Chains A and B, each alone.
Chain A
């Protein structure tokens, strides 16, 4: 019994120490990036390249996801709101649920898989093949060359992709609502969209996109940058980056709703 207890204590102690060490390493990485900001000649052109790659590369998947999301939301709203509920409510429901929740969260989760996995795998491979050590040995900062461009590109592009996804999803919902058996007119849909719309709703979507971008880029860069133990380590970092940033997106989603919508 006492052996089991001491084993549990040891494991708990190790878990706490590992957790604290990770927090320390993450803080170090943030400090390195803050220091690297002065080398804007290094990170700025790379940020534009990275932003272009994220934006153009993610466009297809974002259009696909958001158009299906808008269409399905409209169809389900049309199915549920029958009888005495006015038909324009479909417009309200599609617009609000897409802008407040579905647009940013689905884009966030998809990009956590797409960009997060890519960053963790790229940086992890660079770490285990000593490319990051090589960069440092040449007196160059990995933060300026590798991390800042990736993080800043995400902070710039993901909120833009969220706006884009919102527009496409609402458009798809509108198209489906007015061209299916729901039979809502264009006027009813726009009336419904405006009925419960607050100017802050659009900003809320962008703010969420920004926070999700920070979560995806920082977590995946951290996981990739601290990869150890060869190919297996790269696999572990990649999976870890996707899982951790997805969970963080859901936590941030709840936290931001509590803080910004119903505080």
Chain B
């Protein structure tokens, strides 16, 4: 379980997170919506200790992240897969080596045969040909990089997966594949996930609960149906704007 308790974070004079409180239950998929620059990625990075909040606590499996020692934090991170917005692939390594680094169990990491099998398996899961393994990140398209980033995040069979804009920049077909993958990982492996996204439709398709983060606070949270009917002005405004954008783009379904 991930508990975010009253977390504050600011950069310079700009307050990013202003007392965020949120709980994600085991096996749940939470979609975190919100306008750009509201601190969604900051919150996600705080969960794995890449950013340290000024106040408040983040508790993962009963451990307070900010109080963990180096080794304990490394062990905790091994349980969490993080999908970065632009893939964040190591550009000096080929796809196989990138995915291999995701094997957080040292025994599995050193076993090259296992690593190859697991890399092929993860690539298939994200709808990529296992031959992609030999390619360098520079040879991949933006969408492929993103999917390799997901393959790397799930290679170590994590308990939690944090997705930072997993479908942004993807074509609708691949966005659907990623949405289906998120759902499948939750169903088959019981993975708990938090997805930071702008894709409202994707959020409604995949999430058990949806939260809206705006002005540094969670202003609404609930199951998709409840969220859609929410009378909170920020939610109504956010959904209306998304509907208008979708109508303009001709993607409203």
Chain A contact residues, CB within 8 Å of chain B = 35, 126, 129-131, 133-141
Pairwise interchain contact A133-B75, C-beta atoms closer than 8 A: no
Q: A35-B70, A131-B91, A133-B45 are in contact. Are A139 and B78 (CB under 8 A)?
A: yes
Q: How far is the CA of A130 from the CA of B87 in the complex (A)?
A: 9
Q: Are A133 and B84 in contact (CB under 8 A)?
A: yes
Residue of A nearest to B149 (CB): A134
Whether the Cβ atoms of A137 and B50 lie closer than 8 Å is yes
B55-92 residues at the A interface, CB under 8 angstroms:
70, 73-75, 77-78, 80, 82, 84-86, 88-91
Q: Are A134 and B77 in contact (CB under 8 A)?
A: no
Whole-angstrom distance between the alpha carbons of A140 and B48 in the complex?
13
- B104 located at the interface, meaning its Cβ lies under 8 Å from any Cβ of chain A in the complex: yes
Residues in chain B near residue A35, CB distance under 8 A = 70
> A139-B77, A139-B78 are contacts. A134–B104 as well, Cβ < 8 Å?
no
B34 contact set on A, CB distance < 8 A: none
Residues on B with C-beta less than 8 A from A140 are 74, 101
- CB atoms of A129 and B86 under 8 A apart: yes
> Which residue from A126, A129, A131, A136 sits with its C-beta under 8 Å from B50?
A136
Minimum CB–CB distance from A206 to chain B (whole Å) comes to 31
Closest residue of chain B to A138, judged by CB? B101
B residues in contact with A136, CB < 8 Å? 48, 50, 77
- Could you write out 20 A-B pairs with CB less than 8 Å apart? A126-B90, A129-B86, A130-B88, A131-B89, A131-B90, A131-B91, A133-B88, A134-B82, A134-B152, A135-B90, A136-B77, A138-B77, A138-B102, A138-B104, A138-B152, A138-B156, A139-B75, A139-B78, A140-B74, A141-B74
Q: How far is the CA of A129 from the CA of B104 in the complex (A)?
A: 22
> Given the complex, which residues of A lie within 8 Å of B104, measured CB to CB?
138-139
B48: which of A126, A129, A137, A141 is its contact (CB, 8 Å)?
A137
Complex Cα gap A136–B85 (Å): 16
Q: Is the CB of A131 within 8 A of B88?
A: yes
Q: Which residues of B contact A129 (CB under 8 A)?
A: 86, 88, 91
B90: chain A residues within 8 A (beta carbon): 126, 131, 134-135
What residues on A are CB-neighbors of B88 within 8 Å?
A: 129-131, 133-134
In the bound complex, how far is the Cα of B73 from the Cα of A131, in angstroms?
18
A136–B68 Cα distance when bound, in Å, is 14
Q: Give Cα A136 to B50, complex, Å.
A: 8
> Which residue of B75, B80, B91 contacts A137 across the interface (Cβ within 8 Å)?
B80
Give the size range of B's interface with the partner: 20 to 34
Contacts of B70 in A (CB 8 A): 35
Question: For residue A133, which residues in chain B have a CB less than 8 angstroms away from its CB?
Answer: 45, 50, 84, 88
- The CA-CA distance from A102 to B74 in the complex, in Å, is 46
For B50, list chain A residues within 8 Å (CB).
133, 136-137
Distance from A231 Cβ to chain B, minimum over Cβ atoms (Å):
14
Q: Which residues of B contact A138 (CB under 8 A)?
A: 77-78, 101-102, 104, 152, 156
A130 touches B86 (CB 8 A): yes
A-chain residues with CB within 8 Å of residue B102 when the two chains form the complex = 138
What is the CB-to-nearest-CB distance from A14 to chain B, in angstroms, rounded to a whole number? 12
Residues of B within 8 A of A126 (CB): 90
Produce 1/0 per residue, B136-158, CB < 8 A to A.
00000000000000001000100
Q: Could you say which residues of chain A place their CB within 8 Å of the CB of B48?
A: 136-137
- Cβ contacts under 8 Å, B74 to chain A: 139-141
Question: Distance in Å from the Cβ of B58 to the closest Cβ of chain A?
Answer: 14
Nearest opposing residue in chain A for B81, CB measure:
A137
Q: Are A137 and B77 in contact (CB under 8 A)?
A: yes
Nearest CB of B to A127, in Å = 11
Q: Across the interface, which residues of A come within 8 angstroms of B82, CB to CB?
A: 134, 137
Q: Which of A129, A136, A137 has the most CB of B within 10 A?
A: A137
The answer for the CA separation of A138 and B80 in the assembled complex, in Å, is 8
Q: Which residue of B77, B80, B90, B152 has the most chain A CB atoms within 10 A of its CB atom? A: B90
Write out the residue numbers on chain A whose beta carbons fall within 8 Å of the beta carbon of B77.
136-139
